[in-house]
Amino acid sequence: MEDKQLQKQLVQRYLESKATPPELEAFIHLFQQGELDQLIEEYLNYEISEETVVKSKPKNHWLRPLAAASIALLTISGVTYYTLKQSSVDYTQVANLDRKIKKITLSDGSVIWLNRNAALQYANKWQGKTREVELKTGEAYFQVAKNQHFPKFIVKTPDHLTVEVRGTEFNVRAGKEGIQVYLEGGKVALRREKEVTELTPGQLATYTPNNKRLTVQAVKGDAWLAWKNELFIFDDTSLTQIATELETYYGIDVVIEDHLEALRFTGKISQKNLEQVLKILSHTLDVNIIHHKGRVTIRQGSATDDQAE
């Protein structure tokens, strides 16, 4: 995305809620790198000028005439909020670019936990008798409050799969592999065109857009809700896989020496403290772990020899 014109188009498509899942991933990546700050500011300044200038003659547009009447941008602790006004409806779009989970409470009392690098959009005021939110990308956990004035709650996903609920708790993951919905409690109905599939607690539904198949299976719920509870859950997991998860979550480099890649670990560990994670792994696997300046080295040796610098 070195081409500034392509970056402009990416910013515009995101703020108009037209970005595809790959575009959303590109937007989040570039935003985290600080490469879109100037373009976002230019976009917002253009929108302000469009509202204040009398359009009596043609003018040079930032890209092209925009459907949104107004856009506001606010970033707090790595969470970016966009307020969009389209026709008579105000929307809030939240992009969680922080390492922490973002908790969102809607006006009806429903609560949404947004995982890292996830984006969500919802109306600031419900229309008709339906509450509707849209998971743009990433993962979110929903705790839906019952509401007699707005009995139906719908979650829209990028692959045109909708989740319909009436007071329940469930997890939705939208990624490159498709859409996955895990139901913890209550009932949900999944709709894709004319196909309707109902889930019961403990079931996981997976929709694959490539072949348009929807499968349902029983799974262990704690693994699917681990991120919300800020836990690593390892089940006979190799040290190589554990290293990958640590690198992704903490943004560190992990090096495994002395051919220890095949070591395996089973257990639950809180994600809140990296040093505690390393200490548990060190003592359980009886290896020496050294953490220094964002680099973790795992090598042979007694656990009592490990150290963090």
Helix, strand or coil, per DSSP, at residue 13: helix
pLDDT tens per residue across span 99-139: 789 999 998 899 999 998 888 999 888 878 889 999 988 99
- Res 81: pLDDT: 55
Domain span including residue 27: 1-73
- Indicate whether 183 belongs to any domain: yes
Single-letter residue type at 219: V
Phi, psi of 144 (to 5 degrees): -90, 130
Run of H or E residues at 131: strand 130-143
Residues 163 and 58 in one domain: no
Shared domain check, 116 and 50? no
Model pLDDT, residue 308: 45
pLDDT reported for residue 291: 94
Interatomic CA distance for residues 31 and 191, integer angstroms: 33
Please choose, from the candidates 38, 73, 65, the residue with its C-alpha nearest in 3D space to the C-alpha of residue 49.
65
Look at residue 249 and give its three-state secondary structure.
Answer: helix
Task: Please give the tally of structural domains in the chain.
Answer: 3
In degrees, rounded to 5, the angle at the alpha carbon of residue 19 between the alpha carbons of residues 16 and 22 is 160
pLDDT in tens, 214-223: 999 999 889 9
Domain assignment present for residue 90? The answer is: no
Q: Report whether 124 contacts 132 (CB < 8 A).
A: no
Residue 78: pLDDT above 60? no
- 236: which residues sit within 8 A by CB, 6+ positions away? 264, 265, 266
Taking each helix axis from N to C end, the angle separating 239-250 and 274-285, rounded to the nearest 10 degrees, works out to: 170
CA 119, CA 95: separation in Å to the nearest integer?
Answer: 4
Consecutive H or E run containing 213: strand 213-218
pLDDT at 161: 92
> In this structure, are 129 and 181 located in the same domain?
yes
Contact 114, 123 (CB under 8 A): no
Q: Are residues 64 and 171 in the same domain?
A: no
CATH number at residue 179: 2.60.120.1440
pLDDT at 268 over 70: yes
Q: What percentage of the chain reaches a pLDDT higher than 90?
A: 47
Q: What is the pLDDT of residue 67?
A: 39
pLDDT tens for residues 171-190?
999 988 899 999 999 999 99
Of residues 176, 265, 166, 207, the one with CA closest to residue 278? 265
How many angstroms separate the CA atoms of 158 and 168, rounded?
Answer: 22
Indicate whether 56 pLDDT > 60.
Answer: no
The answer on 224 and 239 residing in a single domain is no
Query: Do 195 and 110 share a structural domain?
Result: yes
pLDDT for 142? 97
Instruction: Specify the higher pLDDT residue, 14 or 242.
Output: 242
Q: Using the predicted structure, report yes or no on whether residue 305 has a pLDDT greater than 60.
A: no
The model's pTM: 0.70
